[in-house]
Amino acid sequence: MNVAKKMLQVPTNISSKDHRFFIFCNYMFVFAFFAHIIFIPIFYKMGNTIVFINNILAVFLDLLCLTLNYKGFIKTATALWIFEIFGHTLYCSYAYGWEQGYYYYFLSLVIIVFFSRWTISIRLMVTALLCTATIFIFNYTHTYPPVTKLNYITLNLIHAYNATANFVGIAYASYYYRRYSEQMEARLLHLASTDALTGICNRRFFEQSVENKLEKPSSDGIKECALLLLDIDHFKKINDSFGHAVGDLALQKVAEICNHSLREGDVLGRIGGEEFAIFFANVDYPEVLQFAERLRKNIGDSKFLLDDAPELGLSVSIGLTMPKFQNEKLSSMMVRSDQALYQAKNSGRNKVVALIE
């Protein structure tokens, strides 16, 4: 398994609500690990033994945090890592002075604190600590000279490195959680607009989509629209005889056949228990009637095998209507389609009835 896949693999002991933060922490700990590795020869050359030893310890603490994260101790790993960076940054600022830019890490840590799984009171306390430390180290380093003085070139190179590391980290965190927010928004929109069983539009989204189409002014040469309601015949009997699981399969089968029959621009939705609706834009009466008859026949010809049961066939009754006047509302078309469907079911089922006038 390559490293990238390993980083994205979430252990079973991690709760679903922590998956996103777990992956974020993985990258954060690995990034810090390699950053501290790079700094080992740099700190050695800079001549401060305590900073050098602290950096060596930081390498092992990064690995420890990564291990704790994989074992499910996300809060502990985050706390250890934040205070590792906090302590290391505080001492480096004391040792080398303000100009090297170690204080950037205090600001970056605030983002990690608020992404953490701690309570809000703890997050505020840690943020206050970071703010206090930043103010303190600013005053201290502008009052007392650094313990270890560096030449101009080294000082500027380290400052550039610290600034770059923090900008990269903040950019990654911002991108990561922005992408996550967009994914969640798309997922919530899908859940809000989709029937969970069949995967097609639910009633609310179907009506909203059709009303939007009806409100758009028609261009020259555009044909009329039509509304079709279909209901699975004897659906209650299917549930009573074979169980609701088989009834669900029947609903999915009908939705699949309807969906495969649609043209671009048509809208399909499940609007009731065993009732479906299809809205046709840019269609005339002969076309939509032919479609309805073909759909009825395709569903009637479909069968599926059941365990320890005979082959099950399906049939549907269909009610069809078209607008009586320009800009007619969906609600009144639904009433007529429902009346047509009622007539189809009461006159023997497995047929198409149209109410046009």
Q: Which of 109, 118, 125, 30 has its CA nearest to residue 74?
A: 118
Which residues, including other chains, have CB under 8 Å from residue 325's CB and lie 6 or more apart?
A: none
Identify any residues that bridge with 228 across adjacent strands, giving them in sequence order.
Answer: 278, 320
Which residues, including other chains, have CB under 8 Å from residue 174's CB and lie 6 or more apart?
A: none
Question: What is the Rg, in whole angstroms, of the alpha carbon atoms belonging to the chain?
Answer: 33
Q: Tokens 């009506």, residue?
A: 207
Measured N-to-C along each axis, helices 120-141 and 104-115 cross at an angle, to the nearest 10 degrees, of 180
Give the Cα separation of 247 and 276 in Å (integer). Answer: 15
Residue type, 37: I
Give the Cα separation of 178 and 165 in Å (integer). Answer: 20
Give the Cα separation of 93 and 259 in Å (integer). Answer: 65
**Distance from the first to the final alpha carbon of the chain:** 66
DSSP string, 279-300: EESS--HHHHHHHHHHHHHHHH
Catalytically active residues, by annotation: 274
Q: CA 300 → CA 28, 45, 116, 120, distances in Å?
A: 58, 82, 56, 59
Residue type, 189: L
Give the Cα separation of 207 and 170 in Å (integer). Answer: 43
Measured N-to-C along each axis, helices 330-346 and 203-215 cross at an angle, to the nearest 10 degrees, of 120
Give the Cα separation of 111 and 24 in Å (integer). Answer: 12
Query: Do 290 and 318 meet the contact criterion of CB atoms below 8 Å apart?
Result: no
